[in-house]
Amino acid sequence: QEALLEVRDLRTYFHTESGTTRSVDGVSLKIKPGEVLGIVGESGCGKSVTSFSIMGLVEAPGKIEGGEILFEDKDLTKLSKKQLKHIQGNAISMIFQEPLTSLNPLLSVGFQIAENITLHQTVDKKTAKAKSIEMLRKVGIPRPEEVYRAYPHELSGGMRQRVMIAIALSCNPKLLIADEPTTALDVTIQAQILKLMMDLRSELNTSIMIITHDLGVVAEIADRVVVMYAGQVVEEGDVFQLFQSPAHPYTLGLMNSTPKIDEWNEVLESIPGTVPVASNMPIGCRFHPRCPYAMEKCVKQEPPLAQINAGANVRCWLHEHGEVSLVEGFEQRR
């Protein structure tokens, strides 16, 4: 099946006085219509900068230095601000983690949804209002007519995130980019929001790119997973395959951390060390200072992203001569 979105060799750098940070350093990925793609990694791995690049939200000192972002075969990096804005409102929507996303506190919820609808579609006010109320109902908000008139501070965090999703989906986007959409919410609400996204996907066939540090979230809703480390894709594959037999030591490290991740810091303890800063990027494999499997070659030569089996790619020398089981290997080494 054709990809709805295809990112090819994307490079987004930040130029500062202390040097160049290659936040996204040659990332390629694809999303098919109706597919849910999870992008995981620690903070600072380039997940958010990838999504910001797709949305045209990279600001100075950041710059897209190279690569293509093909959405329905149009390269978004080549479009004017105006053309990009049109695509963003209509075909691609984005939701963020609260409070980054915060709604305008001075305007009613209904006004904000209706405004988004009239901004992107030629409909009269009455239709926009009716559509807004319908969206509120669709995202599971009780008494949508009342909530339409409510102000953001009158709603709970979970309700506000539902409103954000209602806004994001009010123009029937083909792609929804969700950056840590449930991170600020408690576990029950988080489960409801994820279920809501899945329902909307089956109803509207929306493709979803979900960016998260939480592998539990990915296991729950993603079809495929891209694992990022230090600005690069280090593993990608089908969600079941990836969880059953992670091929990259970093993926295994993420999985070995507690399944219910409350604090990302806890995870960091299980993978010693931290994400390298760009000004001090290790030579060879970027993960080698933290990798329990590191070999001599890893310190000298950077591994390529290579296919290990149908649909699965990994960037690691361990699999250079065919796929090896990390889990067994790890037991042997201990």
What does the binding site for ligand SF4 look like in residue numbers (CB under 6 A)? 248-249, 285, 287-288, 291, 293-295, 298, 303, 316-318
In the complex, least distance from residue 331 CB atom to ligand SF4, rounded to whole angstroms: 16
- Report the residue number, 12 or 48, with the smaller CB distance to Mg ion: 48
Of ligand SF4, Mg ion, none, which one does residue 318 interact with (CB within 5 to 8 Å by kind)? ligand SF4
Residue (42 or 180) nearer to ligand SF4, CB: 42
Select 157 or 304, whichever has its Cβ closest to ligand SF4.
Answer: 304
Closest to Mg ion by CB, 48 vs 232, is 48
Instruction: Give which of ligand SF4, Mg ion, none residue 84 binds (C-beta under 5 to 8 Å, depending on kind).
Output: none
Q: How many residues does the chain have?
A: 334
- Tell me the closest approach of the beta carbon of residue 140 to Mg ion, in angstroms: 26
- Chain-centre distance of CA 28, in angstroms? 13
- Residue 48 interacts with which of ligand SF4, Mg ion, none, CB < 5 to 8 Å by class: Mg ion
Closest residue by Cα to residue 7 from 19, 23, 24, 21: 24
Binder of residue 29, out of Mg ion, ligand SF4, none (CB less than 5 to 8 A by kind): none
Site for Mg ion in 22-51 (CB under 5 A): 48
Burial class (CB in 10 A: 0-12, 13-18, 19+), 79: middle
In angstroms, the CA 25 to CA 50 distance is: 10
Copy the structure tokens of residue 157. Answer: 């965090």
> Which residues between 46 and 75 bind Mg ion (CB under 5 A)?
48
Least distance CB 214 / Mg ion (angstroms): 12
Which of 44, 158 has the CB closer to Mg ion?
44
Measured from the CB of residue 223, what is the shortest distance to ligand SF4 in angstroms? Answer: 25
How many chain residues bind Mg ion (CB under 5 A)?
1
Interface ranges with Mg ion (CB under 5 A) = 48
